[in-house]
Amino acid sequence: MKIGIAGTGRMGAAIAQRLLSLRHEVAVWNRTEEKTRPLAAAGAKVAGRPAELAAASETVITILTDAAAIDAAYHGRDGLLSGNVSGKVFIEMSTVRPETERALAGKIRSKGGAMIECPVGGTIGPAKDGKLFGFVGGEAQDVARARPLLEQMCRRIEHVGPVGAGASMKLAINLPLLVFWQAFGEALALVKPLGLDAARLVDIFGDTSGATTALKNRAATLASALQGVEVSPITVDIDAMRKDLRTMVEEAKSLGTELPVTASALQCYEEAAKAGIGMNDITGIPVRWMKR
Ligand SMILES: NC(=O)c1ccc[n+]([C@@H]2O[C@H](COP(=O)([O-])OP(=O)(O)OC[C@H]3O[C@@H](n4cnc5c(N)ncnc54)[C@H](OP(=O)(O)O)[C@@H]3O)[C@@H](O)[C@H]2O)c1
């Protein structure tokens, strides 16, 4: 299948690698072209403009930072929707508000294309291995068209409703996780006076109900980070998660409800960004709090 991927950041590049390994014909476009080079070396075609990517693809996947990035990639002068997209399927995988996905789906539909959303759980490793968790929103017939490809990217697919539902589910899934990283830093502040070794502390937490799966999966990285070792490569940075927390708070407001704990966590992430560590790995959140 001819697949186009717009946005070869951390996740887009990992997904492209996965699809190349399955011998799909993959074309990529990225705002910063340099990031497409390793994929070109692995056999991907590189499109100079989003419109070129869409023209060369039967299915287009986008996984971009936020609503502004979606706007730029789809609706710019040479955007994905600037040419004829009739009959094409778009799979939008960014973590954004439901209304962003709904508005995009409407525009794609008006041009004769189909769109489903599939924001994902899981990070670079699962993306490379086709082991993401896809939170799918879309019309049944469109989801059916996309499903064979989704199954090659995801270990589990949950079709939770029309376009917008997947975005809601993804924001909800990330909420306790992002609050957790700050809460874990606060927990560490309580036991700091004990002077225990970082690896031992992470190991103790990991064997209790005080840990998330993310802590267990990233135990070694977290222990090194607590010992002052710089995390590399970064799987997800603080700024991206700050964007997610902000999106959750905005979404709740539009629903007429409040998220007091989330809003408080957002404030802590904002302070981390102000302290200059926004581009650091997410483990920087608990590390910062413990070290205060
Ligand atoms: N990393 C994870 O573990 C993870 C897991 C699940 C979901 N997600 C979600 O997946 C999405 C991508 O995450 P990521 O980690 O791959 O982020 P990333 O590495 O920062 O990549 C972001 C991508 O968006 C592009 N972009 C940003 N602003 C743009 C603009 N104005 N116009 C065109 N392109 C623009 C970037 O292009 P440039 O290279 O030119 O900057 C890059 O391709 C986000 O919504 C994130 O929340 C991430």
DSSP secondary structure string, 45-81? EE-SSHHHHHHT-SEEEE--SSHHHHHHHHHSTT-TT
Say what the pTM is.
Answer: 0.97
Provide the total of helices (H) and of strands (E) in the chain, helices listed first: 14, 9
Question: What pLDDT does 275 receive?
Answer: 97
User: Which of 272, 248, 270 minimizes the C-alpha distance to 260?
Assistant: 248
pLDDT given for residue 76 in this prediction: 86
Other Cβ atoms closer than 10 A to 228: 9
Query: What is the tens place of the pLDDT at every residue in 100-133?
Result: 999 999 999 999 999 999 999 999 999 999 999 9
Amino acid 31: pLDDT: 98
User: Apex CA 244: angle with CA 31 and CA 173, to 5°?
Assistant: 120
pLDDT in tens, 74-89: 998 999 999 999 999 9
| Ranges under pLDDT 50 in the chain | none
Q: Which atom of ligand 1 is nearest to the CA of 243?
A: 47
Cis ω for the linkage preceding 233 (within 30 of 0) = yes
DSSP string, 96-148: --HHHHHHHHHHHHHTT-EEEE--EES-HHHHHHT-EEEEEES-HHHHHHHHH
Q: What is the pLDDT of residue 229?
A: 95
Q: What is the pLDDT of residue 204?
A: 97
Report the pocket of ligand 1 as residue ranges, CB < 6 Å. 7-12, 30-32, 35, 63-65, 68-69, 72-73, 94-95, 120, 123, 235-236, 240, 244
Pocket test for ligand 1, best of 5, 30, 35, 65 (most atoms within 8 A of CB): 65
